[in-house]
Structure 1
Amino acid sequence: MSRTGQAWRGGVYLLGSLMSGAATVLVLPLLFHPRLARLWANWHRDRAGRLLGTPLEPRPARRRWADAATPRDLLWLPVNALTGLALGLPALLCVGNIVVAAIATPLWWAFRPVDRPRLFVDVPVTGWATALTLGPLQIVLLAAVAYLAFRPIARAHARICLAVLSHSTAEELAERVEVLTRTRADVLDAHGAELRRIERDLHDGTQARLVATAMRLAVARQAFADDPRDEAFVEGLLRDAHEGIEEAMTELRDVIRSVYPPILADRGLAGALTAVTTRCGVPTRLTIGDLDRVPAAVEVVVYFAVAEALTNVAKHSRATAAGVRVDRAGDRLSAVITDNGTGGADDSRGTGIAGIRRRVLALDGTVDVDSPTGGPTTITVELPCGS
């Protein structure tokens, strides 16, 4: 970006800081609410990061409050009020006086004598000589001040913001431990639920069919021993037993597939995702970058995340098109699933996103859902996959 563009961007930032500082003073009691304080701090933190060109990691949610405030978020309220007003007001005066000079130079005569604009604070414009000399001079001088000062002042404010809102090493470690503790509990719950599901499927499905088949074979054996000539009856029992074994094998394959999809072993992640997108009821475009070697656990999570997300698209979104993009940057693998449907995807509505989130968090990954009402929906999954 050119220096002029940076000065312009700095001026916009400073004027925004002035307004946010004034807003902080006006609604300070409301901003002490834990969630509002965190949202207010996050907005300033992201805004400062964009100005400085510093990518910021999303801050994890707290245990008891979704986005609850920290002491640093509360500290930022008075700091923002002070720095926003102190640094933003000079920028407003500079810009305002440029506007005054730009209006006064050609239109001074349109004002009543008592209302005529003043240049350089207290010099009234009473004639063309004053307007054509002091007006452009004021514009040039203040524009030079803005050109030279807006960028460093804005960056100074942004650094103050990040200095206040950036966590110390101890705080980051504490948040990290909290997230890992919560993730471990979720993983244990999910693991227990998965084991119970597998046990139920095996007990109620496969085992029941095998028991029924064993009983039919026992009856057939006894019937053959009692009357070898009753071939029709024995044949019927054997046929039922054969069908029962095939059904049990089908159910057993389904259980195995839910643990580790065989298609991943047969075709790899790219082939498995191709099969999933092909079977989706909504036309889906698949884009896969250079993934290199991906750990098996990550492949399983990505496969199930994409499969579940596309199932949601087909069932709930009323979309006419979807897309899946899987790529890798360093040790992070990302999967982005999009659709042009009606949006409104929410964990609490039983759309399967909660299951995706549990699987991803189990591997220390992240899930971001952007699904405004009316659409479109974008689900971004990121997972560490080693170097």
Structure 2
Amino acid sequence: MGRSGIYLLGSLASGIATVFALPLLCVPWLARRWANRHRDRAGRLLETPLAPRPALGAPGRRASADPATPRDLLWLPVHALTGIAFGLPALLCVGNVFLATVATPLWWAFDYEDRPRLFIDVPVTGWGTALTLGPLQILLLAALAYVAFPPIARAHARICLAVLSYSTAEQLADRVEVLTRTRADVLDAHGAELRRIERDLHDGTQARLVAIAMRLAVARQALSGTPRNEEFLEELLRDAHEGAEEAMTELRDVIRTVYPPILADRGLTGALTAVTARCGVPTRLHVDDLERVPAAVEAVVYFAVAEALTNVVKHSGATEADVRVSRTGERLSAVITDNGSGGADPRQGTGLAGIRRRVLALDGTLGVDSPAGGPTTLRMELPCGW
């Protein structure tokens, strides 16, 4: 009853706000945010899992091309009507319970003309009336709320989801758009990754190997001459040895960015333990039993957590962070939170944008909740039932 009552009173308040702010809410991106807010409330009340709808401000999405925009605009008058119609009885019920609660012990504090009335038109003129009709009104209205509030709230929530839910054709069209955009992002990311690997190998490892080969060639020539300069040879061989070790280190770094060896050696839990242990902010890690997870999913979660914690250290000013990884059915979720200053925006900078590209490449979802002042919560979900 409590959840339903809060839902109905909130619907009444937002329905009245919709009436007064209707011209402003007709702006498509505001209508989308307003509709998403009510859609999420309805889903929570009905305990129905809902796929997130992207904001109109997301790259590649235009209001005129988005099949959900007409539904967002239709929801405005529908909610103004249903929110007030469904919420007003709840307000009257709650208000009269409050009136009886106040009138029962304090009826005498009011002037005779202003004394409260119970059961609509029965004035409270004495303790007998107060102690009989007051509790009776409270009990009857509480029973009415217990019986009526949940179905009324669920009815409003179903209307909300019926108006704002995609049709099959709209779901298909939106899915095609998302996959098209994701494929383009993946191809761009793949090309950038190949160029980065080529540049690292060309400018770093290859240059060091060339230098090693030159030093060894000079050393070979020195060995063939007479007399031998042992100090000169020792210096050349030492430089060649150090250069070989540096080249191997750079090569390992390049390999690690392709697929971290720690994942193969220690699994996802061990790899995340190492990442959180190295983080400059105290970080708690909780990993459920994940069973078997595809290697591609493990790599995405590892890189995403590592990048997210790097952002926490660099930008958030947080004093603690938390990483939780769990699996429900065929979906693996990872949630990274911190108590920093907030304000993280995936549309700015490359850190969150890179995480989003990796997650979308595997048909996953990424949500960022980072209000100004914090805290910041980054939630990703990935399919792992391949």
| TM-score tier (shorter) | 0.7 to 0.9
Gaps of 5+ in 2: none
- CA 1:90/1:329 → structure 2, altered by over 3 Å: closer, same or farther? closer
Which residue of structure 2 lines up, in the alignment, with residue 64 of structure 1? Answer: 61
**d(CA) in 1 for partners of 2:127, 2:206:** 102
Give the conservation status (yes or no) of the 8 Å contact 1:108–1:131.
Answer: no
Give the conservation status (yes or no) of the 8 Å contact 1:60–1:179.
Answer: no
Give the conservation status (yes or no) of the 8 Å contact 1:312–1:351.
Answer: no
Which residue of structure 1 lines up, in the alignment, with residue 299 of structure 2? Answer: 300
**d(CA) in 2 for partners of 1:102, 1:338:** 43
Offset at residue 41 of structure 1 (A): 0.8
Offset at residue 192 of structure 1 (A): 0.8
**d(CA) in 2 for partners of 1:366, 1:200:** 31
Which residue of structure 1 lines up, in the alignment, with residue 320 of structure 2? Answer: 321
Q: Which of 12, 15, 24 lines up with 1:30 in the alignment?
A: 24
Give the conservation status (yes or no) of the 8 Å contact 1:339–1:377.
Answer: yes
Which residue of structure 1 lines up, in the alignment, with residue 171 of structure 2? Answer: 172
Give runs of aligned pairs for residues 262-273 of structure 1, distance below 5 A.
Answer: 262-273=261-272
Partner deviation per Cα, 1:180-226 (whole Å, 9 max, x = no partner): 11111111111111101000011111111222222233333344445
Give runs of aligned pairs for residues 82-97 of structure 1, distance below 5 A.
Answer: 82-97=81-96
- CA 1:98/1:316 → structure 2, altered by over 3 Å: closer, same or farther? closer
Offset at residue 239 of structure 1 (A): 3.3
Counterpart code for 1:46: D
Offset at residue 297 of structure 1 (A): 0.9
**d(CA) in 1 for partners of 2:284, 2:140:** 56
- CA 1:378/1:143 → structure 2, altered by over 3 Å: closer, same or farther? closer
- CA 1:142/1:206 → structure 2, altered by over 3 Å: closer, same or farther? closer
**d(CA) in 2 for partners of 1:77, 1:339:** 36
**Does the residue aligned with 1:236 lie in a helix, a strand or coil?**
helix
**d(CA) in 2 for partners of 1:245, 1:282:** 35
Counterpart code for 2:107: L
**Which is worse superposed, 18-27 or 239-248?**
239-248
Offset at residue 285 of structure 1 (A): 2.6
Which residue of structure 2 lines up, in the alignment, with residue 125 of structure 1? Answer: 123
**Normalised TM-score (structure 2):** 0.86
Q: Which of 40, 48, 70 lines up with 1:46 in the alignment?
A: 40
**Does the residue aligned with 2:204 lie in a helix, a strand or coil?**
helix
Partner deviation per Cα, 1:75-94 (whole Å, 9 max, x = no partner): 11111112122222333334
Gaps of 5+ in 1: 1-5
Counterpart code for 1:319: A
**d(CA) in 1 for partners of 2:237, 2:201:** 23
Give the conservation status (yes or no) of the 8 Å contact 1:108–1:117.
Answer: no
For the aligned residue pairs, the C-alpha RMSD in angstroms reads: 3.0
Give runs of aligned pairs for residues 139-158 of structure 1, distance below 5 A.
Answer: 142-158=141-157
Give the conservation status (yes or no) of the 8 Å contact 1:108–1:125.
Answer: no
Give runs of aligned pairs for residues 354-373 of structure 1, distance below 5 A.
Answer: 354-373=353-372
**Normalised TM-score (structure 1):** 0.85
**d(CA) in 2 for partners of 1:168, 1:112:** 60
- CA 1:351/1:283 → structure 2, altered by over 3 Å: closer, same or farther? farther
Aligned sequence identity (%): 76
- CA 1:313/1:129 → structure 2, altered by over 3 Å: closer, same or farther? closer
Counterpart code for 1:45: R
- CA 1:130/1:281 → structure 2, altered by over 3 Å: closer, same or farther? closer
Which residue of structure 1 lines up, in the alignment, with residue 220 of structure 2? Answer: 221
Which residue of structure 1 lines up, in the alignment, with residue 240 of structure 2? Answer: 241
- CA 1:295/1:82 → structure 2, altered by over 3 Å: closer, same or farther? same
**Which is worse superposed, 321-330 or 57-66?**
57-66
**Does the residue aligned with 2:190 lie in a helix, a strand or coil?**
helix
**Does the residue aligned with 2:186 lie in a helix, a strand or coil?**
helix
**d(CA) in 2 for partners of 1:297, 1:316:** 28
Which residue of structure 2 lines up, in the alignment, with residue 3 of structure 1? Answer: none
Offset at residue 141 of structure 1 (A): 5.0
